[in-house]
Chain A
Amino acid sequence: MLALVVAGVALTLVTGPSLTPPLDVLRVLAGQEVPGAGFAVLDLRLPRATLSILAGMSFGLGGAVFQTLLRNALASPDIIGISAGASAAAVLAIVVLGWSGAAVSLLAVAAGLLVALLIFGLAWRDGLAGARLILIGIGISAMLDSMIAYVLSRAPAWSLQDALRWLTGSVNGATLGQVWPLALALMLLGGVLLLRRANLEALRLGDDAAAALGVPIAREKLVTVMAAVGLIAVATAVAGPVSFVAFLSGPIARRIAGAGRSPLIAAALVGALLVLLGDYVGQHLLPARYPVGVVTGALGAPYLIYLIILSHRTGRPA
């Protein structure tokens, strides 16, 4: 997996409108001046690749945690409205309040947590039922999506590129300044999640089994959900709600990691790879340039349908 991610980064750094020889790329990265290549590699492609990886890892980790905790492959944060909450807050902050930078990220995190609490609270009736949670999440995200659409409709007409970032997710125009808050969040929150991956696996077996294994259920659930929501929200504040990455990473990673082993690290790598490759396909392989979210959205929808069909055949609840 790691090798694939490195290969993806290399591909992103080498190709662009003009091909840079790999040797030149290495010399630029080593700090040498290479005429004609320095700007493209250091200022355009490197931030883009870094942002793709970090955002993809955050989405992948957060999504896998949600899917594990709720024991439902469909309960990923982009379907149940948490990305939409962070996205709506970020759009409001940028378009209406005129904020930028870390303040936007903080607000997005707060809004993501708030929406998560709201969905969990509304879905709570004698315990938390996955089906109700998902349906309420669909309702909430429909509402938030229309709020995003409304705020964008009041934004100036020339900012279509920005608008699409908040509708589908995009890493266009990435700068190294955007990368830092995300890297920090990934190190802190991702670290928290990875340290707890044994407990998460225990929780996946069900509350009773986890309690029998000595896991303090309520505290673990609270900590992991907060950390996952925080990760998703920061990544959304920077790259927009890149469709379906959080949703796709978990099941793929579980297949790679095999049963019984924690898929979290694999999920982060799969997420990074999805965003990197999605962005590469959107930039270079298609006749027109698309933001990465459009590519992952088109990839993810057939997979979701496949998952529904599969869950019917095996008789497990979707």
Chain B
Amino acid sequence: MMAAGAPRAAVVALRRRRRGRVATLAGVGAMLALACVLSVSLGTRSVGWADIGAGLLGRTDTMAQAVVAVRVPRTLLACLAGAALGLAGAVMQGITRNPLADPGILGVNAGAAMAVVIGIAWFGMATLSAFIWTAILGAGAAACFVYVIGSLGPGGATPLKMALAGAATTIATSSFTVAILLPRNDIAGGVRSWQVGGVGGAAFDAMLPCLPVLAAGLVLCLMSARGLNLLAMGDDAAAGLGAGIARTRALAALGAVLLCGATTAICGPIGFVGLVVPHLCRLLVGVDHRWLLPFSALTGAILLILSDVAGRIVARPSEMDVGIVTAFLGAPVFIWIVRRRRVRDL
């Protein structure tokens, strides 16, 4: 009886856990919907519900309706970018087994931004699809560079070394970005938009070329969930269980780079979303990447939309770029993570 009872209890516990996760998923979905509603209805200018309805139907007769028509693509962009960054952060933390990994801290977004700036300034790039591919190239180069520098020497890729390599790369790339942009008065107006990310000025047709790239990144990342679970046990154990370590890492990293590059190409560098979200989601659903990754995407979308709304409300009558809001939210979380860990693990 005992022998039969124990597995059954385990199965029941598993089912209950799964049901708990499904309930959490529904909750997070509802939060996302709420965040979208807030993002469309709140902002620098107050808009009535009647105008929101009309604006959503595509009418732009009054000022209020036009405002709503601008907020809709903006919300969608925040949703896409947040999901991409949250997912990329979770994958990076999985690949490097590093709790401080984030596309912003590791310099990946700054590398993407520099690549786009070089493309604009030296090669006269003007089309969005060119931006996207250049950004992906820059993100990939920065990611490889930081990973190689950070994992040199004894001890491998410790969080401290990776964070320092990322900080150095960020300072270097932003220095070069300023150096390239400064003498170019024709494009220097964009200096700030390549240093601080924002989702203002979003338009549907600007987002279209990114969608296939984002979709490819999403598929690659989600496919690597099982492999990341194995990697979490350490390289040797994962190899013993039959995981192709190098292939898993490469595919997952490619997915994360696609997501970061495409996001930075439209929004500019946005940091800390990828850091905060996976930690939050681990508290919600545990460490299984098959659940962690989709949750990170959803939560990232919620976080970025809410940050954008906060940026619009806090700084009335003007706006605060969402990259600034996420830094203010994320840096304390970063410090909290650092404080919680023992020095030996850094």
A interface vs B, CB < 8 Å?
74, 79, 122-123, 125, 129, 131-132, 134-136, 138-140, 142-143, 145-147, 149-150, 152-154, 157, 160, 164, 167-168, 243-244, 287-291, 293-294, 297-298, 300-302, 304-305, 308-309, 311-313, 315, 318
A301–B324 CB distance below 8 A: no
Please tell me if B100 contacts chain A, counting CB pairs below 8 Å.
Answer: yes
22 contacts between A and B (CB under 8 A): A122-B339, A132-B339, A138-B167, A139-B338, A142-B105, A146-B328, A153-B321, A154-B318, A164-B178, A168-B178, A287-B183, A290-B179, A294-B179, A297-B175, A298-B175, A301-B171, A301-B172, A308-B150, A308-B152, A308-B168, A318-B161, A318-B164
Among B29-37, B66-74, B79-87, B189-197, the stretch in contact with A: B189-197
Ranked nearest first, the 7 interchain pairs of A and B with the lowest CB-CB distance are A312-B153, A301-B172, A288-B183, A297-B175, A146-B327, A143-B331, A139-B334
A301 with B168: in contact, given A142-B331, A308-B161, A318-B161 (CB under 8 Å)? yes
Interface size class of B (residues with CB under 8 A): 35 or more
Residue of A nearest to B166 (CB): A138
- The distance in angstroms between the C-alpha atoms of A105 and B72, with both chains bound, is 45
B171–A244 CB distance below 8 A: yes
Instruction: Knowing that A129-B346, A150-B320, A308-B150 touch, tell me 6 more A-B residue pairs with CB under 8 angstroms.
Output: A132-B343, A167-B178, A243-B175, A289-B183, A293-B175, A308-B165
Pick from B174, B331, B339: contact of A125, CB under 8 Å: B339
Please tell me if B313 contacts chain A, counting CB pairs below 8 Å.
Answer: no
- The distance in angstroms between the C-alpha atoms of A143 and B165, with both chains bound, is 18
Pick from B160, B192, B346: contact of A149, CB under 8 Å: B192
B338–A168 CB distance below 8 A: no
Residue of A nearest to B198 (CB): A153
A135–B100 CB distance below 8 A: yes
Within 8 A of A (CB), among B327-346: 327-328, 330-332, 334-335, 338-339, 343, 346
Q: What B residues does A302 contact at CB under 8 A?
A: 172
A159 to chain B, nearest CB (A): 12
Q: What A residues does B152 contact at CB under 8 A?
A: 308-309, 312
A290–B182 CB distance below 8 A: yes
Q: What B residues does A287 contact at CB under 8 A?
A: 183
B55 to chain A, nearest CB (A): 27
Q: What B residues does A300 contact at CB under 8 A?
A: 171
A160–B343 CB distance below 8 A: no
A309–B149 CB distance below 8 A: yes
The binding surface of chain A is classed by DSSP as: helix
A293 to chain B, nearest CB (A): 8
A223 to chain B, nearest CB (A): 26
A298–B172 CB distance below 8 A: yes
Residue of B nearest to A301 (CB): B172
Please tell me if B188 contacts chain A, counting CB pairs below 8 Å.
Answer: yes
A-contact bits for B287-327, CB 8 A (1 contact / 0 none): 00000000000000000000000000001001011011001
Q: What A residues does B183 contact at CB under 8 A?
A: 287-290
- The distance in angstroms between the C-alpha atoms of A168 and B174, with both chains bound, is 10
Q: What A residues does B338 contact at CB under 8 A?
A: 132, 135-136, 139
A294–B178 CB distance below 8 A: yes
* Residue of A136, A153, A160, A315 ringed by the most chain B CB atoms within 10 A: A153
A304 with B168: in contact, given A309-B149, A315-B154 (CB under 8 Å)? yes
A129–B335 CB distance below 8 A: no
Q: What A residues does B189 contact at CB under 8 A?
A: 157
Please tell me if B271 contacts chain A, counting CB pairs below 8 Å.
Answer: yes
B175–A140 CB distance below 8 A: no
Please tell me if B163 contacts chain A, counting CB pairs below 8 Å.
Answer: yes
Q: What A residues does B171 contact at CB under 8 A?
A: 243-244, 297, 300-301, 304
Residue of A nearest to B151 (CB): A312
A147 with B324: in contact, given A139-B331, A301-B172 (CB under 8 Å)? yes
A281 to chain B, nearest CB (A): 11
Q: What A residues does B192 contact at CB under 8 A?
A: 149, 152-153
A318 with B320: in contact, given A135-B338, A142-B331 (CB under 8 Å)? no
A72 to chain B, nearest CB (A): 11
Q: What A residues does B174 contact at CB under 8 A?
A: 297
Q: What A residues does B328 contact at CB under 8 A?
A: 143, 146-147
Please tell me if B39 contacts chain A, counting CB pairs below 8 Å.
Answer: no
Please tell me if B176 contacts chain A, counting CB pairs below 8 Å.
Answer: yes
B165–A146 CB distance below 8 A: no
- The distance in angstroms between the C-alpha atoms of A21 and B119, with both chains bound, is 43
- The distance in angstroms between the C-alpha atoms of A300 and B339, with both chains bound, is 28
